[in-house]
Amino acid sequence: MRQLLGMICVLAILSACTTKTNEKDQFDTMAFIAEKFDNTLQAESDSTKIPRTIDENGNLKTVGIYNWTSGFFAGNLWYMYELTKDDKWKTEAIKWTEALDTIQYWSGNHDVGFMMYCSYGNGMKFAGLDNKDILVQTAESLSKRYSEKTLAIESWDYRKAWDEKTEWFFPVIIDNMMNLELLFEASILSGNNKYRDIAVQHAETTMKNHYRDDYSCYHVVDYDTITGAVLDKATCQGFTDASAWARGQAWGLYGYVLCYRYTKDKKFLDFAENIAVYMLHHKNLPEDLIPYWDYNVADEGFVPEWEYDTADYPEIPRDASAAAVTASALYELSIYVPEKGYSEQADKMVASLLSPDYLSVHGKNKYFILNHSVGSIPHGVEIDVPLVYADYYLLEAMYRKEKLEKGEKF
């Protein structure tokens, strides 16, 4: 009975996201989502082998705990528990979360926010688990990558750009905006404003150096470790240095919305709105609001530094993961400026994602909710495939929509 009530609760969400469907279709949609997770748990029981995508034959591909996506599967299970109140998802979520315990002491890159807040953070939020010390320790590890010279958190260690000549000494990527939530929360949990101060300064530095006049953003900005000066503005996963990589735009939008949540500083809200306007009114945004993997991939004047043959992509790949992140961010943005219609735009994105065009109802994908995401086309990896983080932000968007409809906080 408890599980059935949970299912009914989720169907209320789907009814507003799915058009021209009857109640049976809505129930089948949610049952289908649950089946995907059941399939995954049956295929892989080792919580140190974490689902990420599938191979060309439809086999599950996993990563280790130090991969940047390692926290999303546990996060998915936490959202399934919150949406359904079925304790089986809670049991699995705890198992897959606890596998990441040692990450709290790791400072190998900036992604510990993704890894630990999506897992341990959601465990604390949805099940009341006492994860305070773990999250604060993780924030301490992340703060080691902050530089008083650059006034930013280093994303990656030293590496070279696409031309194999340009060196990145202190690369900061737009994705890093997503890890600030961990720092803000750690300050609340610990009473230590150090983490909050780092988050605010990083956000301000990113506003200054990552964004163009039209509120699109560069993917990578490299800094001089001695002077803090900007050395290079470029891309790694986007089409060109000057283009707008779709998931990067989504990371930035989400990041500035959460900065406003924690600070109530209007400059962050205004900035988030400007990013949203850029994305939602872009001339290349498809009618179904699921963006191409890069907003400028078909525009003249954008020439990549990597080998790109248009014949390889007669149909430009969409990025469902970028849409899912954007939809989740828009639901939160709609709380702060309800008159702007952001929730309606998010509804359209979620409806598209839950349609047969993106939902994995056909083909080889037995393990993930969504098809048609993109990892990195320049690297030739994860092109038009399911990705664990696309599912995560779809579930988060569904959860946020439910809360909004009930008039509850999330």
Q: Which residues are catalytic?
A: 111, 175
Burial (CB < 10 A; 0-12, 13-18, 19+), residue 83, is buried
Contacts of 165 (CB under 8 A, 6+ apart): none
Q: Quick one: which of 286, 300, 304, 206 has its CA closest to 246?
A: 286
Which residues does 329 contact at the CB level (< 8 Å), separation at least 6?
Answer: 250, 253, 254, 257, 272, 276
Tell me the C-alpha distance between 293 and 278, whole Å: 15
Token readout for 224 is: 């001089």
- 157's CB contacts (< 8 A; 6+ apart) are 108, 109
Residue 168, SS3 per DSSP: strand
The DSSP secondary-structure symbol of 178 reads G
Q: What angle do CA 300, 206, 209 make, to 5 degrees?
A: 55
CA distance linking residue 405 with residue 9, whole number of Å: 12
Which distant-in-sequence residues (6+ apart) come within 8 Å of 244 by Cβ?
Answer: 216, 217, 238, 278, 282, 294, 295, 296
Q: CA angle, 53 as apex, 16 and 173 as ends, to 5°?
A: 85
Whether the CB-CB separation of 9 and 397 falls below 8 Å is answered with no
3-class DSSP state of 381: strand
